[in-house]
Structures are given as structure tokens and as C-alpha cells.
């Protein structure tokens, strides 16, 4: 059942969809371990996650996400001011994400009557 360990399942899905993921089985446990040893630093320090406004997991606890997102907001605001004809509405929301949930849509649909109020 995929909801047994949702965070592990989400990470495994991400791992499988990385372009560098092999389409063939790993030769042995050492080869798999070596691949994962390269994947984990990339995932934490390079990969920008859409659910946290395209910052890395490392950016969040270090506080770098606040400065990065403020810079993006300033850039988008300046671009919209400079060429307003290219914008049909507001700029993207670059405010920091405060709470991360694995499946917020699912959580809303499975609320109990007591918590839905």
C-alpha cells in the first residue's frame, strides 16, 4: 500500500524520475549504493523542489530560502514594471512556504467531520 510510508514513497518516486536513474537493474548492491550516494547530495543541495517554491531542502533550515525568494520577488516585480505587456496578471507568489504537507489535496478530502469545521 503506497500510504504506508508516504515520505519514503514520495522520495522513491522522485528517485525513479531522475533522468540519471538507470533503466536497467543495478549490477549489484555496491552499484546501487554508489548511485544513491550521488543522488542524496543532489536531492538535498541542488534539486529545486516545486512544492517549496523552487528552493532546495537545504535552503529551508538554513534560512537561505527567505533571501532567495525575496530576490525572485524583486526580479519578477521589476520585470513586470519594465514590460507590463508581458504580464496578464500578478507575478508568481514567491513568499516562503511555512508548512510542507505531502498530499495537501488528499488531506482536505479525507478530513473527519470534527476537523472539517
Q: What is the mean pLDDT of the chain?
A: 85
Whether residue 102 contacts residue 2, with contact meaning beta carbons closer than 8 Å, is answered with no
pLDDT of 92 above 70: yes
Phi, psi of 55 (to 5 degrees): -120, 170
Euclidean distance between CA atoms 57 and 38, whole angstroms: 16
**What distance separates the 2 farthest-apart alpha carbons in the chain?**
56
Euclidean distance between CA atoms 21 and 39, whole angstroms: 9
Is 115 inside any structural domain? yes
Domain hosting 28: range is 1-47
Q: Are residues 30 and 73 in the same domain?
A: no
Q: Are residues 96 and 68 in the same domain?
A: yes
- Look at the block and give the residue holding cell 495537501: 104
Higher-confidence position of 23 and 69: 69
Q: Are residues 6 and 43 in the same domain?
A: yes
Q: Are residues 42 and 71 in the same domain?
A: no
Q: Are residues 43 and 73 in the same domain?
A: no
Q: Are residues 31 and 77 in the same domain?
A: no
The pLDDT assigned to 8 comes to: 81
Residue-wise pLDDT for 20-52, tens only, equals: 888 899 999 999 999 999 999 998 999 998 889
Q: Are residues 29 and 79 in the same domain?
A: no
Euclidean distance between CA atoms 102 and 8, whole angstroms: 11
pLDDT of 102 above 80: no
The pLDDT assigned to 1 comes to: 55
Amino acid at each position: 500500500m503506497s500510504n504506508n510510508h508516504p515520505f519514503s514513497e514520495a522520495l522513491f518516486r522522485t528517485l525513479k524520475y531522475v533522468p540519471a536513474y538507470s533503466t536497467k537493474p543495478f549490477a549489484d548492491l555496491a552499484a546501487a549504493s554508489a548511485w544513491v550516494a550521488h543522488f542524496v547530495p543532489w536531492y538535498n543541495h541542488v534539486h529545486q523542489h516545486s512544492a517549496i517554491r523552487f528552493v532546495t531542502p537545504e535552503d529551508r533550515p538554513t534560512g537561505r530560502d527567505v533571501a532567495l525568494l525575496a530576490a525572485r520577488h524583486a526580479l519578477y516585480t521589476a520585470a513586470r514594471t519594465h514590460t507590463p505587456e508581458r504580464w496578464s496578471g500578478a507575478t508568481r507568489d514567491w513568499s516562503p512556504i511555512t508548512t510542507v504537507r505531502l498530499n495537501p489535496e488528499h488531506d482536505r478530502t479525507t478530513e473527519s467531520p470534527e476537523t472539517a469545521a
